[in-house]
Amino acid sequence: MPVDQKNHNGSDNSFYIYGGHLLSPESPSKYLDLRQGAIVVDGRGKIAGVGPLEAMRKRYPNAPVSDFGDRLILPGLIDLHIHLPQFTQIGKSGQTLLGWLEKYIFPAEMRFSDPEHARRIAHWFFEELARNGTTFAAVFTTLHWQSTDVAFQVAKEMGSRVIMGKVLMDRNAPPSLQDDTDDSIARTLQLCEKWHGQEDGRLLYSFIPRFAITSTEKQMHEAAKLWHAHPGTYMHTHLAESLEECVVVQKMYPQSRSYTDVYERMGMLGERSIYAHSIHLNDEDIKRLAQTNSSIAHCPSSNFFLKSGSFQYKRVENAGVRFGLGSDVAAGPYMSLFEVMRDANYMQGDDWLSPAECLYRATLGGAQAAFLDDKLGSLTEGKEADFIVVNPNRKSGIAANILKQSTEEILSSIVFMGDDRLIEATFVRGRCLFELESGLVTRAAQTYTGTHN
Tell me which residue of 211, 83, 200 sits closest to 137, measured CA to CA.
Answer: 83
Phi, psi of 127 (to 5 degrees): -60, -45
State the nearest-atom distance from the C-beta of 128 to ligand GUN, in Å. 18
State the nearest-atom distance from the C-beta of 161 to ligand GUN, in Å. 22
| Residue 101: contacted member of ligand GUN, Zn ion, none (CB under 5 to 8 Å, by partner type) | ligand GUN
Is the C-alpha dihedral spanning 33, 201, 327, 374 positive or negative?
negative
238/383 with CB nearer ligand GUN = 238
State the nearest-atom distance from the C-beta of 96 to Zn ion, in Å. 14
| Residue 211: contacted member of ligand GUN, Zn ion, none (CB under 5 to 8 Å, by partner type) | ligand GUN
The secondary structure of 342-409 as a DSSP string is HHHHHHTTTSPPPHHHHHHHTTHHHHHHTT-TTTSSS--TTSB--EEEE-GGGSTTS-TTGGGS-HHH
Size of the site for ligand GUN (CB under 6 A): 11
Tell me which residue of 94, 123, 90 sits closest to 108, measured CA to CA.
Answer: 90
| Residue 289: contacted member of ligand GUN, Zn ion, none (CB under 5 to 8 Å, by partner type) | none
**Among residues 8, 210, 342, 429, the one that binds ligand GUN under rule CB under 6 A:** 210
State the nearest-atom distance from the C-beta of 306 to ligand GUN, in Å. 6
Bridge partners for 74 per DSSP: 388
Binders in 274-303 for ligand GUN, by CB under 6 A: 302
Report if residue 343 touches ligand GUN, rule: CB under 6 A: no
Report if residue 414 touches ligand GUN, rule: CB under 6 A: no
Spatial distance between the Cα atoms of 277 and 308, rounded to a whole number of angstroms: 9
Cβ-contact 208, 168 below 8 angstroms: yes
108/415 with CB nearer ligand GUN = 108
Judged by the rule CB under 5 A, the positions of this chain that interact with Zn ion are: 276, 328
CA distance readout (Å), 239 to 292, 317, 382: 15, 17, 35
Residue 73 neighbours by CB under 8 Å, 6+ apart: 18, 20, 21, 22, 23, 37, 39, 379, 387, 388, 389, 390
The secondary structure of 11-67 as a DSSP string is SS---EEEEEEEEEESSSS-EEEEEEEEEEE-TTSBEEEEEEHHHHHHHSTTS-EEE
State the nearest-atom distance from the C-beta of 241 to Zn ion, in Å. 8
Amino acid letter, 32: L
State the nearest-atom distance from the C-beta of 140 to ligand GUN, in Å. 7
236/342 with CB nearer ligand GUN = 236
42/245 with CB nearer ligand GUN = 245
Amino acid letter, 258: S
| Residue 241: contacted member of Zn ion, ligand GUN, none (CB under 5 to 8 Å, by partner type) | ligand GUN
Binders in 61-90 for ligand GUN, by CB under 6 A: 83
276/445 with CB nearer Zn ion = 276
Spatial distance between the Cα atoms of 202 and 232, rounded to a whole number of angstroms: 12
245/424 with CB nearer ligand GUN = 245
CA distance readout (Å), 84 to 135, 169, 287, 417: 15, 16, 31, 26
State the nearest-atom distance from the C-beta of 127 to Zn ion, in Å. 21
Spatial distance between the Cα atoms of 305 and 414, rounded to a whole number of angstroms: 22
State the nearest-atom distance from the C-beta of 83 to Zn ion, in Å. 6
Give the range of 97-105, 182-190, 250-258, 369-377 binding ligand GUN by CB under 6 A.
97-105
Binding mask 318-337 for ligand GUN (x = CB under 6 A): ----------x--x------
**Among residues 126, 136, 195, 211, the one that binds ligand GUN under rule CB under 6 A:** 211
Amino acid letter, 411: L
Report if residue 238 touches ligand GUN, rule: CB under 6 A: yes
Residues lying near ligand GUN in the complex (CB under 6 A) are found at 83, 97, 101, 105, 210-211, 238, 241, 302, 328, 331
